Amino acid sequence: MTDLHPELAASLTDTPSGVHIKHRYVDTPYVPGMESTFNDALERKAKAIAVAQAERRWHLFIMLHERPWRLDPLIEIKDRLTDSEFWDMVGYVWTDSANIPENRSRWDGILRTERPGHEAIMDESERLALAALPEVVNVYQGHTDQRDDGWSWTTSYDTAVWFAKRFAAQEGSYPQVTAASVARDNVLAYLFARSEYEILAAPEHVTIVSTAELEP
């Protein structure tokens, strides 16, 4: 019987749905007896990542990492990227991430990076949409009583309500929506991924207007 690779064995994690392999290259439920399959997957992924890095195929290099770990390779290669490549990758990894609060301080450092060309975080349609916004932009954030004082807002009230109810269902709490405003010149990016109409702005530039609790 094949033993699970030591890296994978060290990443075994108990979750509510059972034991999972939680590794930057392999993120999957663990099934005893499939050790050779998991080991092969780790070897193939490691080789593909090494090739992508050698060929400077940065999107592929990052994408080959499992989603919860994609910020790590971005930070690893940031000094090898041009300014426009860097900001393009920031936009890609941010919109792809589902665990931003877990990496709040690292994301704050990335978004505050003093590198020119930050408009490359957006595509052309997003840049045009940002330019068309009013000088002061009304934004919203859906949350529970534990509001994330981070960079992410939306111009869509309905989107904020959707997130508030989603978080409330996950946390067993009450949904809330905070309304705020931010000067357009202080908006880092306006992102349309997943139709969330997301505004990225540093917390100190956002002025809170009100917070309302929704019906569960």
pLDDT reading at 1 higher than 70: no
Mean pLDDT of the chain: 94
- Above 90 in pLDDT, residue 148? no
Pair 105, 75: CB distance under 8 Å: no
SS3 152: strand
- pLDDT for the residue 99: 84
CB burial readout 21-30, b (16+ within 10 A) else e = bbbbbbbeeb
- Stronger pLDDT, 176 or 145, i.e. the higher one: 176
Average pLDDT over residues 138-143: 95
What DSSP element (H or E) covers 126? Answer: helix 124-132
Asked if residues 39 and 8 have their Cβ atoms less than 8 Å apart, the reply is yes
pLDDT of residue 102: 87
Q: Is the pLDDT of residue 2 over 90?
A: no
Contact 207, 183 (CB under 8 A): no
Asked which of 65-74, 96-105, 108-117 is least confident by mean pLDDT, the reply is 96-105
User: CB neighbours (10 Å) of residue 122?
Assistant: 21
**In the chain, what percentage of residues exceed pLDDT 90?**
83
Residue 101: what pLDDT? 85
With a pLDDT cut of 70, the percent of the chain lying above it is 99
Residue 10: predicted pLDDT: 96
Q: Contact, 117 vs 84, CB < 8 A?
A: yes
Residue 132 CB neighbour total at 10 angstroms: 9
pTM of the model: 0.88
Domains and CATH numbers, the chain: 6-118 (no CATH), 122-213 (3.20.170)
pLDDT (0 to 100) of residue 169: 86
Q: What's the CA dihedral at 172, 173, 177, 182 to 10 degrees?
A: -90
Mean pLDDT of 176-199: 95
CA 52/CA 100 separation, integer angstroms: 25
pLDDT digits (tens, 9 = 90+) for 194-213: 889 999 999 999 999 999 98
User: In angstroms, what CA-CA distances link 111 with 57, 85, 116, 120, 183?
Assistant: 22, 14, 12, 13, 17
Three-state DSSP state, 198: strand
